Structure 1
Amino acid sequence: MHESMTFRSALIAFTTCLLLLKALQAQPPAPTPVNSPAFIEAKSFDPAVATKAWLDSVPADKRAKSDAYFEGGYWLILWNFLVGAAIAIFLLNSRFSAQLRDFAERVTGSKTLQVVICGIVYILVVAVLSFPLTLYQFFIREHQYGFATQAFGPWFLEQLVGLSVGLIAGIVALSIFYAVFRHAPRTWWIWGTLVAVILSFIGNFITPVFVEPLFNTYKPLTDATIRDPILSMARANQIPVTQVFQVDASRQTTRVSANVAGLLGTTRIALNDNLLKQCSVPEIRAVMAHEMGHYVLHHGAKLTIYFGVVALFGFALAKFFFDWALRIWGERWDVRGVGDPAGLPVLMLIFVTFAFLMTPVLNSIVRQCEREADQFGMNCSREPDGEAKVALKLGAYRKLDPSPVEEFIFFDHPSGRARIQMAMDWKAAHLPCPNLDATEPATE
């Protein structure tokens, strides 16, 4: 009797549970009330209005200072081109490059050593002649706008270190290029492109890991409130790191920066101490997620390929204009051919001009990768307001709201306005989505 009653009770309870479960499955989700904050925000949030509000939060005097600084950079692009072209023309018309070649031939019969001698002298001469512009652009002007923190002595010492690195890299590159020029006098522009791509790839690998530490000290970040969220994002995106490093950039500049770089076990996440001092954790997460985007999306390799295509075009033009220039001025300059190191200023003049004219294209290639990293970073960090705040901080030295043509020509990163608009669009797309049909009052 007891067992029978127990069985019937269990059967009734089981049947009741099934009926309740069926009723719950048939019942639609509870709608968000029309007067709830989530519903009101979802209906009223306008990304365009929010973007304008962020931009309007910057005082007019700071906007004017930022615009003046960034627009001054447009003229520096021109001045760097003019100075580089003038130096090349001077070395050719004065026959300095030919005399240097003759000197190298008297010193050694080795073609490679002749290139080394000419390369060392050429790099040093260019560095000395262009130093006034370098001094103004990277020291005087940076101090005028309050972005530099380094005295002249330490700054000049770092310039010498950079020149030493440039000498080593330049000599190696020139030796390889001129070996190609000598052995492939007709197809050197094709093989030269291949060499340029390979050297670019090696440079992208070496620079963050081996060159940058020559100028700054890297030490492990010990603040767990900042380090752990960064490592969490890294693990989520399969970035093989177990530590985050901070860089003492504040002794040189007030700018914020970070990077995720490395290959074959050398991958490293680094952020400078200005970022730690000037930004909140959500802002730091937004910055680091962006940098992780470059790594995960393989932008280093992609940019090498993109620039390889541009380089092929540039080398083809160099072949045409080098031959053309030698037919007209070769005897005057005493340049014998592309394998002659006396012709190095001719190549430099061609490539400086090419790079100047290709500025919008090169900037657009980089800007597209930066936009992709922004989108990746937004989905990774989920910090739209943090992204907007960082964009405003970068706006201290990047024009926030340029015209479309201006952004196309001069910007190698999306403008502050574009970045804030992207963040606000993301925010709007991820606000709570109320059931409008269920919450709107019925009308008769």
Structure 2
Amino acid sequence: MPVLLAALSLEAPERLLVLVQDLTPRRRAEEALRFLSDASRELAEVRAEPEAILVGVAHLAVSAMASWCLVDVLQEDGCFRRVAAAHREPNCEALLREAPRYPPITDATSSLFQALARGESRVYPDFLPEHRALMARGAEQLGLLEQLGARSVMLVPMRSRGRAVGLLTFASCDVGRRYGSEDLEMVEELARRVVAAVDNARLYHEGQDAVRLRDEFLGIASHELKTPLTPLRLRLQMLQRQVEGASRSGEPLPAERFSEALDVALRQVRKLTDLVDNLLDVSRISAGRMKLELEEVDLAALAAELVSRFTPSAAQLGCVLELHAPAPVLGRWDRLRVEQVVTNLLTNALKYGAGRPVAVRVEGAGERARLTVKDQGIGIAEEDLARIFERFERAVSDRHYGGLGLGLYITRQIVEAFGGTVGVTSRPGMGSTFTLELPRGTASVP
């Protein structure tokens, strides 16, 4: 025990007054301030990944005030996931990695962890067998915890916006190191700083990702907008020269030349209009301003109309469009939005399945309507299946296939606004099948 000795001589020479002061509280306070100061410097690095911050906290703890430290994050399903484990003795790291995983907070028999989820910290100055039984399930886990040799333990929840997001476990194996209320206050302050640092780091990285997405999108958008503008400009310049030449020569310009040039120009204008419409849709969706005008629609008839409209384009690409829609499938939907969804699916099928058949099927499934679009094209890798429905995401290189990466994102948003679902099954080289399901609303069900 650190002490301060002071000797004072009294008036009588044979007498001496000795003062003894326990310096442990002062030393603990100094250590706490130093530890929090070091932690603040570590946590100030917002460019670090959130989990890297938690790993750093665990190692800082064992360098200053713990024999070992665990950091767990709380997942949406109520289960803990361990992200860091640090031990003061390197040869004990392997044993610590096997430390018991904590039970989920949804476990009704786990009163300790339910309390931790409510934000209630626990400190055990003397870590007794009954305390170990609360933290471990079964003889094997209890044995592992006993091998770690903790004599004093603190369990401190990390909370963000009023709810638990993780748990810090500090353990001391030293005989002379018993945690108390002052240690608990310090670690609770540390937990608050850790949560703030992790939130800041997460926001920083989300901001960086947003900037990266924006830059990628601007690059793709500028390329896509230039693609129809270039032939439009060239065709109009050529038409201008022909008109000027005809004016100088006094000969009339043949009507077929006018018609051909205008057809090309109108096609490019339509492409530009579609691109701008997609951008406006994304803006409406982001602002929550996408409105649906519901009316009774026959999905089978709408699909037949669109297949007929796409047949000439499919023929140019060497595709045969097949439709199986033997009976009307009625529902209350926004006709223009459903048409937009089916158009997006057909456009993708023809783009990525050029030269091979594309099959469209429409059928009723009780209170829901189902439409599938199946191609036999290049397919999609499994790891890309989920992200293709996100903004600006594409499963292929934009060098080979054009587009903004917005079509499937807009499709999913429209379908979900109807209360429906859209999904895909695919394998590389084996084609893709997109399945659209919509609730039929109050329309009559045949």
TM class by shorter chain equals: under 0.3
- Greater helix share, 1 or 2? 1
Higher Cα Rg, which structure: 2
Q: Give the structure, 1 or 2, with the largest relative contact order (CA under 8 Å, sep 6 or more).
A: 1
Per the normalisation by structure 2, the TM-score is 0.22
